[in-house]
């Protein structure tokens, strides 16, 4: 799945945390997982092949994804990857 790797990481992280909880493992504090999936992301010219782009300004997106209450942040951004 090209350009959806960050969403896959978010979903896999949530699944792993659920598995851990079901086995009795607990993490101190809350875990907040955020990502976004854009079904109509534009592409922009790039050689050798066009690259996926995002219709949302990256700095605006980061402000929406980051929660000031977090003790740690795992950030996976593959917007520039293809």
Condensed to tens digits (0 to 9), the pLDDT of residues 29-81 reads: 878 887 777 777 788 888 888 877 778 887 887 787 777 887 777 766 665 55
Full domain range(s) for residue 25: 5-65
Does residue 72 lie within any of the structural domains?
Answer: no
The pTM of the full predicted model, rounded to 2 decimals, is 0.58
Q: Is residue 55 part of a domain?
A: yes
Q: How far apart are the first and last CA of the chain?
A: 10
Q: Is 75 part of any domain?
A: no
Is 79 part of a structural domain of the chain? Answer: no
Would 57 be classed as within a structural domain? yes
Say how many domains are in the chain: 1
Q: Strand, helix or coil at 39?
A: coil
């Amino acid at each position: 799945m090209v350009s959806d790797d960050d969403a896959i990481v978010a979903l896999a992280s949530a699944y792993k945390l659920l598995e851990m909880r079901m086995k009795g493992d607990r993490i101190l504090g809350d875990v907040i997982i955020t990502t976004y999936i854009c079904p109509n992301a534009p592409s922009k010219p790039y050689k050798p092949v066009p690259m996926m782009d995002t219709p949302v300004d990256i700095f605006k997106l980061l402000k929406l994804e980051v929660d000031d209450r977090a003790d740690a942040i795992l950030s996976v951004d593959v917007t520039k990857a293809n």
